Amino acid sequence: MNLVLLGPPGAGKGTQATRICQEFSLRHLSSGDILRAERKAMTDLGRQAQDYMDRGVLVPDDLILSMMMDHIGRPDAGSGFLLDGFPRTEVQARGLDDRLAAAGRRIDHVIDIQVSDEEVARRITGRWSCAKDGRVYHETFSPPRQAGVCDDCGEKLIRRKDDEPEVVRQRLRTYHEQTAPLASYYRQKGLLRPVDGELGADRVFAEICRICRVG
């Protein structure tokens, strides 16, 4: 089974993605995580992407498409994958479809986690992550045992540059302009499965499992 997870930043895609991949033995491919790893490793791609990422705007389609197709083509994604954060534009979605079709593969479901802008802002601006291992906390929903310190490794918690309030507003604008039209693209293909992302993580997960099992 191959899935796409849609939803604004802060919709809980990361949390759901981890659980779905465990449940259905899928490879989790998060474009944001892959880009951050490339940036940390200071690869050419990472350097090219850095400025776009810090401003909260999208990295060019051709860069992302070839990066993601490379990961999709790896053996560990051979029995199924979940795409998180990609595709983000209709150009990316069409490029993905064409390349998958050429390899005799396809997307089975597009899970669209729906969350209002107000809720997104509330969730993201309270988010802190560990500078060392990347573990994510939230001031209100999942605070660390000691404020500002990672439970696992004791490292200081930082706010991701693109989680700053002004950048979050820009990311939401970008989402509405470029990503929301993807929903109609996938609706036309009969693949779109909307899920209410404000129900709470367990109910959202249960709903996604139901969708995937119905087939």
Tell which positions 24-43 bind ligand AMP, by CB under 6 A.
Answer: 31-32, 35
Q: State the number of binding residues for ligand AMP (CB under 6 A).
A: 18
Nearest distance, CB of residue 29 and ligand AMP, angstroms: 11
Applying CB under 6 A, does 186 fall inside the site for ligand AMP? no
Annotation marks residue 135 as catalytic: no
Residue 136: φ, ψ to 5°: -105, 135
Applying CB under 6 A, does 9 fall inside the site for ligand AMP? yes
Nearest distance, CB of residue 214 and ligand AMP, angstroms: 27
Applying CB under 6 A, does 6 fall inside the site for ligand AMP? no
Annotation marks residue 13 as catalytic: yes
For 175, residues 6+ apart whose C-beta sits below 8 A from its C-beta are 8, 9
- Between helix 90-102 and helix 180-188 the angle, nearest 10°, is 40
Applying CB under 6 A, does 129 fall inside the site for ligand AMP? no
* Residue with Cβ nearer ligand AMP (62 or 210): 62
Q: In what order do the strands lie in the sheet with 192-196?
A: 27-30, 81-84, 2-6, 109-114, 192-196
CA 168 – CA 171 distance, rounded (Å): 5
Q: In what order do the strands lie in the sheet with 136-138?
A: 136-138, 127-130, 157-158
Query: 55, 105, 135, 160: which is the annotated catalytic residue?
Result: 160
Annotation marks residue 39 as catalytic: no
* Residue with Cβ nearer ligand AMP (150 or 172): 172
Please report which helix (H) or strand (E) contains residue 82, including its range.
Answer: strand 81-84
* Residue with Cβ nearer ligand AMP (46 or 149): 46
Nearest distance, CB of residue 215 and ligand AMP, angstroms: 27
Applying CB under 6 A, does 86 fall inside the site for ligand AMP? yes
Query: 13, 27, 123, 193: which is the annotated catalytic residue?
Result: 13
Q: Where are the alpha helices (DSSP H) in the chain?
A: 13-24, 31-40, 44-55, 61-72, 90-102, 117-125, 165-174, 180-188, 201-214
At residue 138, what is the residue type?
H
Applying CB under 6 A, does 85 fall inside the site for ligand AMP? yes
- What is the 8-class DSSP label of residue 7? -
Residue positions annotated with a catalytic role:
13, 88, 127, 160, 171
Summarize as ranges the residues that interact with ligand AMP (CB under 6 A).
Answer: 9, 31-32, 35, 52-53, 56-59, 64, 85-88, 92, 162, 171
